């Protein structure tokens, strides 16, 4: 037998020496209270798991977006923190209102248990007090009987319901705290018209950046000026600093010295304003387990549906919308009711549409940081050419290891030794016979070894140069 139960029976036996009915009254009171409390708590957590399970998982996912290191770049670039906090609050509070409502309906059960417990304790302790006052029992025996009376609690509270009570109370306090901290109206943001911003100029002056724990700077004395509306390709061997340069442009990194200006905005004076000027598609772009509408609209939370449709069309993703049963409201994850997954190429077009939504919303710079590294050369070239035509007039930065994919950019720069070592068009850089020409020749040889330039997939990394 359970040791706790044995202790309760021992206390009841001790109390039996006072009055034969006293342990029976105490046991009845505690059992009624314990059973009603257990049923109430079990019902509460069954609702959390079964009735509100899908919404609760959705809320937990959004909280994970806010806390995860892998999501930090896009959350900061697209300014999604306020949206995510608001959506988490809305979903979580809606979920908990179901629990609170059903908890209120079952409150009569708890009242019955409390009444039974109070009556049982009141009857026995009153009788003990009466007998002690009239000298029928000694004070020492009264103390023993009172302790035995309270020890009979073990007869009713079986299965550690105290812990269950604490868990329920803690959850309620946590949710109420969230309601006070994050409560906000559920009105949708005002929609903005479909419009494409003109390009923004880029100016980097004397940039120096060193990663923590390293002695040698990754970038040292780098200078780069990009006129508004120009398409620029950034190339270089692995580790040259291409991705570092992109993160400096987007305000994710702060240079040790030098200045970063986009559209006349100095990063040192307003990182948030600078980020609004930049739309980025990273190589490790995020796949949000959220509706298609949110996946695209994160580029500009004020965008109207017309802008979302235009961005998806420009990214070549119209077919994605057509195959989804719930259209824009389809959750892009099979983990949720009615949800579905996309292919790798469809996710890629969704990420591009997200960045193009930011362009429609006013971003003057579009950065493509090797988002198509998994594609073959022909597909990557076709995609880059399409994007360059779609965002004509917007300043575009392309980063790729495959030089055949960036040859149609207005201008190409090579990053080496922490600086811009070569700068010019594709033809100009081939003519100079420098690092770009050597890398291009090496990749061309690999193409020749594998077959057609159009069909071969380049597997060689540029750091072989």
Residue 373 pLDDT > 80, yes or no? no
pLDDT at 41: 66
In the chain the first and final C-alpha atoms are separated, in Å, by 76
pLDDT at 459: 38
pLDDT at 326: 86
- Whether the CB-CB separation of 235 and 436 falls below 8 Å is answered with yes
Query: How many other C-beta atoms can be found within 10 angstroms of the C-beta atom of residue 264?
Result: 9
Inter-axis angle of helices 107-133 and 139-151, nearest 10 = 170
Of these ranges, 19-23, 54-58, 214-218, 281-285, the one predicted with the greatest mean pLDDT is 214-218
pLDDT at 449: 61
- Whether the CB-CB separation of 296 and 346 falls below 8 Å is answered with no
Residue 82 pLDDT > 80, yes or no? yes
- Whether the CB-CB separation of 23 and 152 falls below 8 Å is answered with yes
pLDDT at 27: 74
Could you give the domains of the chain? 3-182 (no CATH), 202-464 (3.40.50.300)
Query: How many other C-beta atoms can be found within 10 angstroms of the C-beta atom of residue 114?
Result: 15
User: What does the DSSP assignment read for 39-104?
Assistant: HHHHHHHHIIIIISHHHHHHHHHHHHHHH-STTHHHHHHTT-HHHHHHHHHHHHHHHHHHHHHHHH
Residue 461 pLDDT > 50, yes or no? no
Residue 368 forms beta bridges with which residues?
Answer: 281, 398
Mean pLDDT across 80-104: 81
pLDDT at 451: 52
Mean pLDDT across 189-194: 38
> What percentage of the chain exceeds 90 in pLDDT?
14
- Whether the CB-CB separation of 462 and 401 falls below 8 Å is answered with yes
Mean pLDDT across 301-325: 88
| pLDDT tens digits for range 405-458 | 777 788 999 999 899 999 999 999 999 988 988 888 887 777 566 554 444 333
Question: What CA–CA distance (Å, rounded) separates 136 from 126?
Answer: 14
Band of pLDDT at residue 155, cut at 50, 70 and 90: low
| pLDDT tens digits for range 28-44 | 777 777 777 766 666 66
What are the angstrom distances between the C-alpha of 364 and each of 15, 77, 245, 310? 83, 13, 18, 17
Of these ranges, 106-110, 256-260, 337-341, the one predicted with the greatest mean pLDDT is 256-260
Residue 121 pLDDT > 80, yes or no? no
pLDDT at 411: 93
Residue 57 pLDDT > 70, yes or no? yes
Residue 148 pLDDT > 80, yes or no? no
- Find the angle CA(412)-CA(413)-CA(415) to the nearest 5 degrees: 150
pLDDT at 189: 37
pLDDT at 208: 94
pLDDT at 465: 36
Band of pLDDT at residue 395, cut at 50, 70 and 90: very high
Residue 10 pLDDT > 90, yes or no? no
pLDDT at 456: 39
Band of pLDDT at residue 234, cut at 50, 70 and 90: very high
Question: What CA–CA distance (Å, rounded) separates 284 from 303?
Answer: 24
pLDDT at 379: 65
Structure tokens at 12: 């009841």
Structure tokens at 272: 């948030």
pLDDT at 8: 63
pTM of this structure: 0.61
Question: Which residues lie below 8 Å from residue 214, measured CB to CB, with a gap of 6+?
Answer: none
pLDDT at 375: 58
Mean pLDDT across 304-318: 88
Which is more confidently placed, 112 or 431?
431
Mean pLDDT across 176-197: 44
Compute the mean pLDDT over every residue in the chain, rounded to the nearest whole number: 77
Mean pLDDT across 79-84: 86
- Strand ranges, E, within 338-381: 365-369
- Whether the CB-CB separation of 398 and 233 falls below 8 Å is answered with yes
Residue 305 pLDDT > 80, yes or no? yes
Least confident of 156-165, 300-309, 311-320, 405-414: 156-165
Least confident of 48-52, 145-149, 308-312: 48-52
pLDDT at 158: 47
Residue 63 pLDDT > 70, yes or no? yes
Residue 402 pLDDT > 50, yes or no? yes
pLDDT at 226: 93
- Whether the CB-CB separation of 417 and 396 falls below 8 Å is answered with no
Mean pLDDT across 88-105: 77
Least confident of 118-132, 197-211, 278-292: 118-132
Helix or strand run (H / E) with residue 225: strand 219-226
Question: What CA–CA distance (Å, rounded) separates 203 from 189?
Answer: 33
């Amino acid at each position: 037998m359970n040791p706790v139960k044995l202790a309760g029976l021992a206390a009841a036996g001790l109390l039996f020496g006072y009055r034969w009915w006293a342990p029976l009254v105490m046991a009845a009171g505690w059992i009624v209270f314990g059973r009603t409390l257990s049923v109430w708590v079990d019902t509460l957590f069954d609702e959390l798991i079964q009735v509100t399970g899908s919404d609760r998982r959705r809320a937990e996912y959004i909280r994970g977006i806010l806390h995860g290191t892998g999501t930090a770049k896009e959350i900061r670039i697209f300014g999604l923190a306020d949206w995510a906090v608001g959506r988490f609050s809305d979903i979580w509070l809606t979920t908990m209102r179901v629990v609170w409502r059903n908890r209120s309906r079952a409150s009569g059960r708890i009242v019955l248990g409390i009444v039974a417990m109070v009556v049982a304790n009141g009857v026995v302790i009153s009788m003990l007090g009466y007998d002690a006052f009239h000298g029928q029992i000694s004070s020492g025996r009264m103390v023993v009987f009172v302790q035995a009376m309270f020890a009979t609690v073990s007869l009713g509270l079986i299965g550690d319901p105290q812990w269950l009570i604490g868990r329920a109370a803690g959850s309620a306090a946590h949710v109420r705290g969230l309601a006070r901290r994050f409560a906000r109206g559920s009105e949708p943001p005002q929609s903005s018209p479909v419009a494409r911003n003109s390009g923004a100029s880029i100016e980097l002056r004397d940039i120096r950046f060193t990663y923590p724990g390293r002695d040698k700077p990754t970038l040292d004395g780098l200078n780069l000026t990009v006129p508004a509306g120009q398409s620029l390709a950034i190339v270089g061997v692995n580790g040259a600093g291409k991705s570092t340069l992109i993160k400096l442009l987007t305000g994710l990194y702060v240079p040790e010295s030098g200045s970063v200006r986009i559209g006349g905005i100095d990063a040192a004076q307003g990182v948030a304003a600078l980020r609004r000027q930049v739309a980025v598609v990273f190589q490790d772009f995020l796949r949000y387990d959220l509706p298609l509408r949110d996946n695209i609209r994160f580029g500009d939370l004020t965008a109207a549906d017309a802008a979302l449709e235009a961005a998806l069309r420009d990214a070549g993703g119209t077919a994605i919308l057509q195959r989804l049963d719930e259209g824009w409201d389809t959750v892009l994850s099979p983990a949720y009711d009615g949800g579905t997954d996309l292919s790798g190429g469809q996710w890629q077009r969704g990420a591009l549409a997200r960045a193009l939504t930011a362009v429609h919303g006013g971003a003057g710079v579009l950065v493509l940081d090797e988002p198509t590294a998994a594609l073959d050369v022909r597909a990557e070239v076709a995609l880059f050419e399409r994007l360059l035509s779609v965002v004509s007039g917007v300043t575009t930065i392309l980063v790729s290891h495959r030089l055949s994919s960036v040859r149609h950019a207005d201008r190409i720069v090579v990053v080496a030794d922490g600086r811009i070592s070569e700068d010019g068009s594709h033809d100009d850089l081939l003519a100079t016979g420098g690092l770009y020409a050597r890398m291009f020749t090496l990749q061309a040889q690999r193409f020749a070894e594998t077959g057609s330039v159009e069909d071969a997939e380049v597997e060689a990394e540029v750091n072989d140069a």
